[in-house]
Amino acid sequence: SAIYLKDYQVPPYLIDKTELTFDLDEATTVVTSRLHMRRNPESTQQNAPLVLDGGEDVKLIGVAVGDCALPAEAYRVNEDKLVIDSTPDAFVLTCETLIEPQNNTSLEGLYRSSSMFCTQCEAEGFRHITYYLDRPDVMSVFTTTIIADETRYPVMLSNGNEVERGKTEEGKTVVVWHDPFPKPAYLFALVAGDLAVKEDVFLTQSQREVALKIFTESHNIDKVDYAMEALKRSMRWDEETYGREYDLDIFMIVAVDDFNMGAMENKGLNIFNSSCLLASPKTTTDDNFLRVEAIVAHEYFHNWSGNRVTCRDWFQLSLKEGFTVFRDQSFSADMHSDTVKRVEDVSFLKTAQFAEDAGPMAHPVRPASFIEISNFYTLTVYEKGSEIVRMIHTLLGEEKFRAGSDLYFERHDGQAVTCDDFVAAMEDASSIDLTQFRDWYSQAGTPIVTVTDSYDESTKTYQLTMTQETLPTPGQDSKVALHIPVRMGLLSQEGDLLPSSLDGTVSDEHVLHLTDFEQTMTFENVSSRPVPSLLRGFSAPVKLRYEYSAQDLLLLMSSDADGFNRWSAAQQLAVNELTQLINQAIQGQALSVDSTLVDGFRALLNDGSLDPAMVALILALPSQAYLSELANPIYPAAIKQARQHLKKQLANTLSEEFERTYHEHNMAVDYQATAEQIAHRSLKNTALSYWVETGTEAAIAALTKQYETADNMTDQFSALSIAVHGQLSNAGDLLASFYQQWQNEPLVVNKWLALSAGQEQDNALQHVQSLMAHPAFDLKNPNKVRSVLGGFGQNVSGFHNADGSGYRFLADQIILLNKRNPQIASRLCTPLTRWKKLEPTLSALMKAELERILAEDLSKDVYEVITKSLN
Ligand code: ARG
Ligand code: ZN
């Protein structure tokens, strides 16, 4: 049963204060709540019964209104609701409930991870702790009392400040926490365990001292220094960039091993998947360092964009997530290289979000309905949501955007609001009309923008004609024209900047406003026939179509003033080449590589003036996943064959360049996760991945030496992955030695699991099955499940095996996890949702597995994805 945005009503009751007591016990925890409630004067339902949310895993012991325990006939518990037919206008509701943290495998609500208790309440986890108005527009001041055995749980944490500590008569410890900021229940958190702590202090811009504490199990406390520094950088950046200062006297982060997602922004007490917090040079790759920094920043930034100003309802999820992703992306760009960061973010968007937008789960950034909200923590809500905020930034410019965000935070502090309120603040502060722009929130699908042009030598005028089209998506057959900002400039045939005049403004760069289905823009004073550089910085999340010649692309790649578009042109060149090879492979022809890309890559490798990180990004061929997104239908084996063939050809033709590049960027340094060092390592390792394709002894020896002597995980793991993906004969030995070396570091073992599961080989499926029986595997741990099944999903020969065994295997795992952990099971369905785009034989095999899953007794999470996929 779906719920709809159009049915939104304000809550009939409010909860001004929430007092919770947890008597912690692994088997049965007693939760007592005292809710200071009153009827909401703004509700039109003044006679409505009180309906509280609660999970089937919550056992109600007793309920009282004021001092009177309610008799059985005064309330009803049906499935997941507690209904009390009549209440006074204002009253204290007391509930006593029992929960079983030890048996909580869904990792929602209160559960056990390793030796600790922890919580995850977003989006609707709080109802698995006790009965409540579990919706984000009910904001309350929380006081939390934790009672536990101090010998096993010396650390007991909740939101806000610790205000009291004492003992019960039986000698248990009692700790009381109070959070002065009203918040919805999804931001509640509790942690108890025997944890080590790393402490620091941050001095805010108004000179207040904030105590910073990061908690982990004791064996991990040596891996939090980087996160602590990243936190301080985030706090400073939010003051400087958005004028946002932290508000409590203490900010805590806890790392837990079992966690469904990346991390959670609970007020004053962020809880992190340990894979997104712990970092050390020996065990963590460059990518993972940057990920830790970005997620620490993301969760911290939520304190304003999410907590101080929160969402009215879950349809508005992108209000906080889209904006906060935009904020963390901007932060990372400022800390490192903005072009590199933009290329990475856009690659990800175009690969994964575009695929989501083209599939059966396509939905608007502000969905109109859902069955299970957990299914809507999506790339569309997060990444496309961020692109919407970025477009607003482009339309308003830096200064007005800041004025808009200031107004938004000031106007809505302490409120639960909508995406429309966000846009209205941006509009009011800038006087820029965003009426049409708002449709980005409600319209699903990726617009296709097609551009044609003409140049008139005699009048020196240049015309661009742009059309936009968005294909139908489930439940949205007809589409409106969106307001699409197209940042662009012109280049001469020699690659020089070509200023032009548009509507009287002379500039090297313009922002075009595509607002109709078709529009023509005329540029004056264009001195020669230009090559257009369109959609600079990826100024809108659209598919751009313009018939660039190979010559045009080479020119843009070497000369465009916009770094992002230099990458984009190179990517297009590689896509064009690969598309030809893929078609040859599908038709069973011999594959033959054109010289254009080879020439482009040679020039790149010989130009010492370029940022090595950008060179590495360009040399990394478009991924299997991205090429699959572009293809229709998808022939996975042909894509793989084409990529391998092109890589080998490039390697053989440019072997000297790759060898030289490898050595040039292989420098001995004290490891640091700085943009500069990361750039050298990424180019070095990319060059190595080509060089070993030549199969020469020198290359294999260099790889082996790097594997054996590396003093950091980036170089060691790169060497290992290159050996595995390059199918070198020593790959098996290296994998075995890697496990031997790192078997006591779970996060490293997870990387090993993913790489092993992705290893292309004849018996790939059996291999993955043996990994799931390996002592390093644990079905209860989402990171391990993600490593093995995620890695297997990338395994073309294993997952897309022509006999359908790969799909069957994944379906079996989904069925296995369906009840145990619905959120994880639902995420695992994603590869199967792409069945319609696959070539007919594989498509039918995949569809059959979806139907097999549907025959099971499904959780809401899995049910929604499977039924929508089959529709
Ligand atoms: N708000 C968190 C973040 O993006 C995500 C938590 C989502 N958790 C969930 N189980 N759906 O920062
Ligand atoms: Zn978030």
Distances (CA, A) of 605 to 131, 495, 602, 680, 684: 63, 19, 5, 13, 12
- pLDDT tens for 690-734 read 999 999 999 999 999 999 999 999 999 999 999 999 999 999 999
- What is the dihedral angle through the alpha carbons of 6, 7, 9, 15, rounded to the nearest 10 degrees? -110
Residue nearest to atom 5 of ligand 1 (CA): 264
Whether 621 shows a pLDDT value over 90: the answer reads yes
Give the span between the Cα atoms of 10 and 160, in whole angstroms: 27
CB atoms within 10 A of CB 840: 8
- pLDDT tens for 787-796 read 999 999 999 9
pLDDT score, position 743? 98
Helices 655-664, 675-691: axis angle to 10 degrees equals: 150
Active site annotation includes 299: yes
pLDDT score, position 79? 85
Mean pLDDT over each residue of the chain, to the nearest integer = 98
- pLDDT tens for 419-438 read 999 999 999 999 999 999 99
The best mutation among 107, 126, 261 to test binding of ligand 1, ranked by most ligand atoms within 8 Å of the C-beta, falls on 261
Please give the distance, rounded to the nearest whole angstrom, from the Cα atom of residue 556 to the centre of ligand 1.
39
Distance of CA 655 to the CA centre of its chain: 37
Polymer length of the chain = 871
- pLDDT tens for 558-567 read 999 999 999 9
Percent of the chain with pLDDT over 90: 100
Residue nearest to atom 3 of ligand 1 (CA): 264
Name every residue whose Cβ is closer than 8 Å to that of residue 681 and which is 6 or more positions away in sequence: 286, 665, 714, 715, 718
- Does residue 528 contact residue 493 with C-beta atoms inside 8 Å? yes
pLDDT band at 360 (very low <50, low <70, confident <90, very high): very high
Does the Cβ of 311 fall within 6 Å of ligand 1?
no
Averaged pLDDT for residues 240-244: 99
* CA angle 500–504–505, rounded 5-degree value: 55
Averaged pLDDT for residues 619-641: 98
SS3 annotation, 36-56: EEEECCCCCCCCCCEEEECCC
Give the span between the Cα atoms of 866 and 830, in whole angstroms: 9
Report which of 363, 348, 441 is spatially closest to residue 629, judged by C-alpha positions. Answer: 348
- pLDDT tens for 328-359 read 999 999 999 999 999 999 999 999 999 999 99
Please give the distance, rounded to the nearest whole angstrom, from the Cα atom of residue 264 to the centre of ligand 1.
6
pLDDT band at 519 (very low <50, low <70, confident <90, very high): very high
- Does residue 384 contact residue 353 with C-beta atoms inside 8 Å? yes
pLDDT score, position 48? 94
pLDDT band at 273 (very low <50, low <70, confident <90, very high): very high
Is it true that the peptide bond before 754 is cis, omega within 30 degrees of 0? Answer: no
pLDDT score, position 738? 98
Give the span between the Cα atoms of 192 and 158, in whole angstroms: 9
Give the span between the Cα atoms of 617 and 615, in whole angstroms: 5
Facing residues of 155 across strands? Answer: 193
Does the Cβ of 189 fall within 6 Å of ligand 1?
no
| Three-class secondary structure of residue 468 per DSSP | strand
Please give the distance, rounded to the nearest whole angstrom, from the Cα atom of residue 320 to the centre of ligand 1.
11
Averaged pLDDT for residues 598-613: 96
Whether 463 shows a pLDDT value over 90: the answer reads yes
Give the span between the Cα atoms of 142 and 140, in whole angstroms: 6
Per the listing, tokens 């993301």 go with: 298
pLDDT score, position 198? 99
Distances (CA, A) of 467 to 374, 514, 546: 36, 8, 11
Give the span between the Cα atoms of 508 and 143, in whole angstroms: 58
- Does residue 286 contact residue 678 with C-beta atoms inside 8 Å? yes
Residue nearest to atom 1 of ligand 1 (CA): 264
Please give the distance, rounded to the nearest whole angstrom, from the Cα atom of residue 329 to the centre of ligand 2.
12
Helices (H), 543-669: 550-559, 563-586, 595-606, 612-619, 624-630, 636-653, 655-664
The model's pTM is 0.99
Atom of ligand 1 nearest to the CA of 299: 12
Which amino acid, one-letter code, is at 22? F
pLDDT score, position 121? 99
Does the Cβ of 383 fall within 6 Å of ligand 1?
no
- Does residue 215 contact residue 157 with C-beta atoms inside 8 Å? yes
Atom of ligand 1 nearest to the CA of 373: 11
SS3 annotation, 411-469: HHCCCEECHHHHHHHHHHHHCCCCCHHHHHHHCCCCCEEEEEEEEECCCCEEEEEEEEE
Which amino acid, one-letter code, is at 183? K
Selected catalytic residue, list 108, 265, 293, 299? 299
CB atoms within 10 A of CB 163: 12
Atom of ligand 1 nearest to the CA of 120: 10
Averaged pLDDT for residues 441-468: 98
Please give the distance, rounded to the nearest whole angstrom, from the Cα atom of residue 136 to the centre of ligand 1.
14
Averaged pLDDT for residues 768-781: 98
pLDDT score, position 196? 98
